[in-house]
Amino acid sequence: MPPRVFPGAAPENPYSLIFGPAVRLSLDHAHSAVVIVDPHRFACDPAYGLGTVVPDRAAVAAARYYERVRSAVSNIVRLLEACRSWRLPLAFVRTAAARPDGRDLSPQVRALGRIPVAGGPDAEILPELAPMPGDLVLNKPGSGVCTGTGLDERLRYMGVQTVVLAGGSYDGGLERSVRSLTDRGYGVVLVPDACATFDDQLQRNLWNMESGIINVLATADVIGALRGPERAGVGESAGGPLVS
């Protein structure tokens, strides 16, 4: 029975009246992976990369972004612990160029004014999140995690159906990644307290993105869901369906 709407009170999202709630994604270990967007110095360390080319007028906004990054990183660390303890595939996807002139990057990224070169200091993944052998580290030429990375193919080879997504978003890359992944048929569990966007409104909006095959969970809830039989989607076996 859809919720009753009083005439004249248009809901924030009328589609919620005809679609029903989002599906509950199962985070079963055999079919889930964690993807961290832009976890490198370029995007996360104010002394490197983007932090070095912030115009004065944007200094305050940039500082807020880096604060959110700090807070997100501490949650990403917890996510990674859970991820590693359950041996979920883990992919770090970072913007990095092969060429120092960045001509192999998308025009949008090149326009940021600072090129993160693979192998250089800007491209280094934050030490707190240090990748281990077995982790995927993919260099992306653009903003979203699916464009030009082969991530889709690799997830497919690994049988992944659900992606836990966290990380930095200095150019809308996180939202873009949610759309690209869901367009390719992956369920996405977005973890807003393990994400950092550049705008207060966008940050708040992350909590409202639940719909269709997108779930929104706090870090603690993701960890809980990954742990033991009380996890979300209880009832199916390890080789079970995507949704409960």
Partner 1 sequence: MRTGIESPFRRPESSLAPVLEGERAALLVVDMQYFDAHGEWGEGKTARGLRVLHAFDEYFTQLAEVIPRIQSLLAVSGGKGVEVIHVRVAELTNDSRDAGLKQLVRGLAVPKDSKEAQLLDEVRAIDDEIVISKSSSGPFATSNLDRILRNLGIDTLIVVGTSTAGCVESTASDAVDLGYTVIVAADACACSTRRSHAQALGRMAAASVLVASTDELRSRLDDLPPWTDSRAAASPGQSATCRRGFSQGPRRKTLTA
Q: Write out the two tokens for 5.
A: 């709407």
The distance of closest approach from Cβ of residue 54 to partner 1 in the complex, given in angstroms and rounded to an integer, is 6
The distance of closest approach from Cβ of residue 150 to partner 1 in the complex, given in angstroms and rounded to an integer, is 14
| 146 vs 155, beta carbon nearer partner 1 | 146
Distances (CA, A) of 223 to 4, 75, 77, 87, 181: 35, 10, 11, 13, 21
| 30 vs 59, beta carbon nearer partner 1 | 59
The secondary structure of residue 62, as a DSSP letter, is H
| 83 vs 198, beta carbon nearer partner 1 | 198
The distance of closest approach from Cβ of residue 199 to partner 1 in the complex, given in angstroms and rounded to an integer, is 5
Q: How far apart are the first and last CA of the chain?
A: 20
Question: Are 27 and 232 contacting, i.e. CB atoms less than 8 angstroms apart?
Answer: yes
The distance of closest approach from Cβ of residue 156 to partner 1 in the complex, given in angstroms and rounded to an integer, is 13
Binding site for partner 1 (CB under 8 A): 2, 5, 7, 10-15, 17-20, 23, 50, 53-55, 58-59, 61-62, 65, 106-108, 111-113, 142-144, 146-147, 170-172, 175-176, 179-180, 182-187, 198-199, 201-202, 205, 212-213, 242-243
- 3-state SS track over 117-168: ECCCHHHCECHHHCCCCCCEEEEECCCCCCCCCCHHHHHHHCCCCEEEEEEE
| 89 vs 173, beta carbon nearer partner 1 | 173
Q: Write out the two tokens for 141.
A: 């030429």
